[in-house]
Structure 1
Amino acid sequence: MCRIYNLSISICRLPIPKLEDTINRYLAAQKPLLNEEEYRNTEKIARKFEAGEGRLIHRDLLEHDRLNKHTSYIAGPWYDMYLSARDPIVLNYNPFITLNPDPKPEYNRQIVRATNLVVSSLKFLNSLKNNYLRPDIYYVNRKWGQSKVFKHFIRILPPSISWYGAYLVNAYPLDMSQYKSLFNSTRIPNLSKDALFTSEFARHLLVMRNGHLYVFEVLDAFGNILHPSEILAHLTQIIHDADRLPKFELCYLTTEDRNTWATLRQELVQKGNEENLKKIDSAVFCLCLDRASPQNELELTHCFLHGYGFNRWFDKSFSLIVTSDGTAGINFEHSWGDGIAILRFINEVYRDSTEHPALVPQASPALFVTSCDKLEFNMDHTITSAISAARQKFDQKRGMFCVKTLKYKKFGKQYLINQNLSPDAVFQLACQMAVYHQYGKLLPSYEACSTAAFKHGRTETIRPTSVYTKKCTVAFIDQRGKHSTEDMRNMIDECSKYHRRLQLEATLGQGFDRHLFALKYLVQRRGGRMPDIYNDPAYKNINHIIISTSTLGSEAINHGGFGPVVPDGFGVGYNMFEDWVGSIITSYLEKDSEELIKYLEYTLNDIYDVLEGRSLK
């Protein structure tokens, strides 16, 4: 198999857009959000920036990028942005993804599925460590992805030119540098700015059950995986041992704001708990065996997104969660990496655990295994009081947090593809219309897009709100019945084409958000005067993201979600399945969330009627 870095070493660097292109794209995104007077003022400020101090800062950014060819211009600032944030990471940053059930029902017993997922995860880890993980490649023509000739061709090419070899057949290698932080990694709370920790040698698994923490080795010194029956035995021991709740659940401290948690962690170290904390930090990953059995998507979302603050160590790079009915999923810390790395991991682990399960349901646990190491902590009144306060604070915030779900079954991805439309564009258009119905205006929106096609790329922003979506929205709502069905259909087509263009630009590193962010970061680092463009109310408004959206599609995934990024906003996770559309909307505004879901279904119906040639009533 190909070595993991054969393609990654030679991958192209993330480009810095031309300043004039960034300003043009920025103004295009602002236009549908501003009235004429506001837009003229913002345009004046932006053009002044482009011609004056912006040009000088941009020149400095280019020079800084030239001197740091080992990485991308956005990587450092992006890590700093995440790690310097002082808000709690749960609800604010950590997303979740749930897996589909194992196709064989008998394999969905909690302890069986947990064992199989652990073994498959460790196989992935070993492939990664031994440089035998198949490289991430986006194939324009998917037949090349199955071609043994192509794989052999790429494998024998020198790393310095393998990237070009892939490009010859329209295959685009993706950056995989984030994978090094997938395992044995934890975000460590520090005052002012956190740190990412990764252990190279730890071989133990962290398991949580009922708020208790356990560790046991799952790899030997040569990387061999513990026999599945022994893993099963350890997990059985843990379930039997953790039959009662601890008096104080230490894990609640990971729900605290980062400065508070950093101070309390130092208290724990001073009380002699440093070794236990090291075992948590260095563990391969965290397995959470929950007693809960979520009955619907609403309960499932609460369980996997925040777990009610309980039985989770939110700082771990990722936690594999398995509920009592065998439902499985991932909650991951976001600073180290993005959805594309987690998606690859989930796809491979799901496929391996369902197609090549290490354990059959009838298997018995090994009879003779050493006991797990249960982590016991020394806690004084300061720590126990802090745990109680953290629990109370989190419960209060969770009480304000609401989740709404949508299953729209009139059409899905395949229907829209057959209509020569972008499924993503249609959902984003429906969101714009729903917001307009609810608020009487368009609001700042955000769609995450990966820039993994470039070395150390992270994400770029797609701005779904455009002059095209505004025109279409006004026609569907304010001017309802005044346009022919054919004209309405043409407007949807225009929105789809423009959205595809925005997607392509963002994927190629040609958005405007990361560029403006990097320029601002450079000014802040130097302590200079902040340019007027960043103090413009329009700039602050467009970056107060009311509608934050993201999607990850895969046969392994049931659904996913995340919290809103601003207190008065919405987190919109969605999947376009073959014949239906699923969405999970989170917010601190329950009534507004109910209305948004209602209007989203309403606008999807409107779009469907137009696509079917029916006039709107």
Structure 2
Amino acid sequence: QIHAQLCRIRSQSWKTDKEPMGILTSEHRHTWGQAYNRLLQDRINKDSVRLIEKGLFTLCLDSPVMRISDEKYASRMAAQILHGGGTYSNSGNRWFDKTLQFVVGEDGSWGLLYEQATAEGPPIATLLDHILQFCKKPDTVRAPLVPLPMPKKLYFYIDPAIKWDIEMAKQNLDILINDLDITCFNFQRFGKEFPKKLRFSPNSFIQMAIQLAYYRKHFSIYCMIYHSCNYYHVKNLGRTKCIGNSPISFTHNIIKSDTVIMLNEIKLLVFLILYYCSQDAVSVQALHGQGIDRHLLGLKLQAIEEGLSIPRMFMDTAYGLATHWKLRTGQVPTNTDSVMCFGPLVPDGYAVCYNPQPDHVHFSVTAFNCCEDTNAEKLAVTLESTLQDLQDLLQPAV
């Protein structure tokens, strides 16, 4: 029945209006809020928007995209799921306000896009695992004899003001998309079992490699790291917490050399252990609500909400540097070969997400093209070589 409905929708989609209404939801919240109010002034538009908002999720049936090399395929598909590829591709075939959007392309690629205001990565990953497991072993249920009603097409009345909003949204979204650099790769030399054999946490081990890769790429030992964890096991403490830099920053202890790579092996091994222990302690503190960033942010927002002067501490240069997260990282493990992708927090930063499997690790790396110093593909290559070097160094201990 669902297949029949989807076929009907697809056959009718060729006759649809040319204006991509979903493109409006890609705008800045304030801009989209103003356009939203204008859009709902018309009764037809209001009814259509309300039906979209009442749905549990949206299903985006994407048109085919340009074929590329197998090496770049994963990166292209990640971009396609994240933003649709631009206004001349499938970006208008989204409703970015929805918590869940299932995206299916004609070439068989598919993914899940979620809105983070109401969702988190790990539960979404669990949902993804459930879907794929169900597809492998579906419940055999006889289809009802009573046919479903025909799909209902939604209509919109587009006046000159809404038309202008759409055109501006197209321009702004294309600027954002062209600025985002995405690289996905599958590191296949080892997975989470290798650091486990060394009694390292796989997450801390990968974090260490990311920090070292950043140092090798930028020759900079100063880099604030934003690594999120969740509070699901602790009541009334919100949703997430930032695991900040370790007190013993790994890169602070690397000896510079002409080859950049290093290193006195004995000294490196010592600092590997020190970094791991200190990073593990920071993680435990964050998981139990003993971090500081969310508390400080709450104080700042409370002052703003009550019309008070923002405390001087928040205007200090040190606080600005401490919250300029050049590395945004996240571990979103799944039981499948998939990886989450998101953008950096600052213009001169990176975002790295990873999904460790037993014998390989999936990575996504993003950066902004507007910054000449950052390059997602180069950091990905450096990260891959760094992981290989760490394996070569530690392999005898396994």
Q: SS at the partner of 1:446?
A: strand
State the alpha-carbon separation in 2 of the partners of residues 332 and 339 from structure 1: 9
Tell me which residue corresponds to 1:594. 377
Tell me which residue corresponds to 2:98. 316
Quick one: which amino acid aligns to residue 286 of structure 2? Answer: A
The alpha-carbon distance between structure 1 residues 460 and 482, as it changes in their structure 2 partners (threshold 3 A), is: closer
Tell me which residue corresponds to 1:292. 64
Among 282, 299, 302, the alignment partner of 2:79 is 302
State the alpha-carbon separation in 2 of the partners of residues 424 and 521 from structure 1: 32
Tell me which residue corresponds to 1:97. none
Q: Report the Cα offset of residue 368 of structure 1.
A: 4.4
Contact 2:227 / 2:243 at 8 angstroms: preserved in 1? yes
The alpha-carbon distance between structure 1 residues 290 and 364, as it changes in their structure 2 partners (threshold 3 A), is: farther
Query: Looking at CA atoms only, which structure, 1 or 2, has the larger radius of gyration?
Result: 1
Among 223, 235, 244, the alignment partner of 1:463 is 244
Contact 1:233 / 1:366 at 8 angstroms: preserved in 2? no
Contact 2:74 / 2:185 at 8 angstroms: preserved in 1? no
State the alpha-carbon separation in 2 of the partners of residues 558 and 446 from structure 1: 22
Residue 266, structure 1, aligned to residue 37, structure 2: yes
Quick one: which amino acid aligns to residue 311 of structure 1? Answer: N
Q: Report the Cα offset of residue 240 of structure 1.
A: 1.4
Q: Report the Cα offset of residue 495 of structure 1.
A: 1.6
Residue 336, structure 1, aligned to residue 113, structure 2: no
Quick one: which amino acid aligns to residue 255 of structure 1? Answer: S
Contact 2:349 / 2:367 at 8 angstroms: preserved in 1? yes
Tell me which residue corresponds to 1:567. 347
Residue 354, structure 1, aligned to residue 136, structure 2: yes
Q: Report the Cα offset of residue 478 of structure 1.
A: 8.9
Among 421, 432, 436, the alignment partner of 2:215 is 436
Q: SS at the partner of 2:335?
A: coil
Quick one: which amino acid aligns to residue 579 of structure 1? Answer: D
Residue 609, structure 1, aligned to residue 386, structure 2: no
Contact 1:445 / 1:465 at 8 angstroms: preserved in 2? no
Contact 1:549 / 1:573 at 8 angstroms: preserved in 2? yes
State the alpha-carbon separation in 2 of the partners of residues 244 and 338 from structure 1: 37
Contact 1:548 / 1:572 at 8 angstroms: preserved in 2? yes
Structure 2 gaps of 5+ residues are: 86-90
Residue 243, structure 1, aligned to residue 14, structure 2: yes
The alpha-carbon distance between structure 1 residues 408 and 434, as it changes in their structure 2 partners (threshold 3 A), is: same
Q: Deviations over 1:554-599 (max 9, x none)?
A: 1135111111122221121112221122211111137622332232
Q: Deviations over 1:7-53 (max 9, x none)?
A: xxxxxxxxxxxxxxxxxxxxxxxxxxxxxxxxxxxxxxxxxxxxxxx
Residue 373, structure 1, aligned to residue 152, structure 2: yes
Q: Report the Cα offset of residue 256 of structure 1.
A: 1.0
Tell me which residue corresponds to 2:300. 520
State the alpha-carbon separation in 2 of the partners of residues 508 and 440 from structure 1: 34
Contact 1:285 / 1:318 at 8 angstroms: preserved in 2? yes
Contact 2:78 / 2:184 at 8 angstroms: preserved in 1? no
Q: SS at the partner of 1:582?
A: strand
Q: Which has the higher contact order (CA 8 A, sep 6+)?
A: 1
Tell me which residue corresponds to 1:255. 26
State the alpha-carbon separation in 1 of the partners of residues 260 and 339 from structure 2: 35
Quick one: which amino acid aligns to residue 24 of structure 2? Answer: L
Q: SS at the partner of 1:319?
A: strand
The alpha-carbon distance between structure 1 residues 479 and 584, as it changes in their structure 2 partners (threshold 3 A), is: closer
Contact 1:321 / 1:330 at 8 angstroms: preserved in 2? yes
1:380-419 mapped onto 2 (5 Å cutoff): 380-419=159-198
State the alpha-carbon separation in 1 of the partners of residues 106 and 261 from structure 2: 50
State the alpha-carbon separation in 1 of the partners of residues 145 and 331 from structure 2: 41
The alpha-carbon distance between structure 1 residues 468 and 445, as it changes in their structure 2 partners (threshold 3 A), is: closer
Contact 2:248 / 2:278 at 8 angstroms: preserved in 1? no
Contact 1:446 / 1:548 at 8 angstroms: preserved in 2? yes
1:145-164 mapped onto 2 (5 Å cutoff): none
The alpha-carbon distance between structure 1 residues 612 and 301, as it changes in their structure 2 partners (threshold 3 A), is: same
Quick one: which amino acid aligns to residue 371 of structure 1? Answer: M
Q: Report the Cα offset of residue 467 of structure 1.
A: 2.0
Q: SS at the partner of 1:546?
A: strand
Tell me which residue corresponds to 2:88. none
Q: Deviations over 1:138-175 (max 9, x none)?
A: xxxxxxxxxxxxxxxxxxxxxxxxxxxxxxxxxxxxxx
Contact 1:432 / 1:465 at 8 angstroms: preserved in 2? no
Contact 1:320 / 1:331 at 8 angstroms: preserved in 2? yes
The alpha-carbon distance between structure 1 residues 265 and 525, as it changes in their structure 2 partners (threshold 3 A), is: closer
State the alpha-carbon separation in 1 of the partners of residues 259 and 283 from structure 2: 28
Contact 1:475 / 1:488 at 8 angstroms: preserved in 2? no
With 535-544 and 493-502 compared, the bigger mean Cα shift is at 493-502
Q: Report the Cα offset of residue 249 of structure 1.
A: 0.8
State the alpha-carbon separation in 2 of the partners of residues 287 and 461 from structure 1: 32
Contact 1:447 / 1:461 at 8 angstroms: preserved in 2? yes
Q: Deviations over 1:104-158 (max 9, x none)?
A: xxxxxxxxxxxxxxxxxxxxxxxxxxxxxxxxxxxxxxxxxxxxxxxxxxxxxxx
State the alpha-carbon separation in 1 of the partners of residues 319 and 140 from structure 2: 53
State the alpha-carbon separation in 2 of the partners of residues 286 and 610 from structure 1: 48
Q: SS at the partner of 1:253?
A: helix
State the alpha-carbon separation in 2 of the partners of residues 545 and 471 from structure 1: 17
Structure 1 gaps of 5+ residues are: 1-229
The count of aligned residue pairs is 381
Contact 1:445 / 1:464 at 8 angstroms: preserved in 2? yes
Tell me which residue corresponds to 2:109. 327
Quick one: which amino acid aligns to residue 243 of structure 2? Answer: I
1:524-603 mapped onto 2 (5 Å cutoff): 524-556=304-336, 558-589=338-369, 592-603=375-386
Q: SS at the partner of 2:308?
A: coil
Q: Report the Cα offset of residue 490 of structure 1.
A: 2.6
Tell me which residue corresponds to 2:54. 282
Contact 1:413 / 1:578 at 8 angstroms: preserved in 2? yes
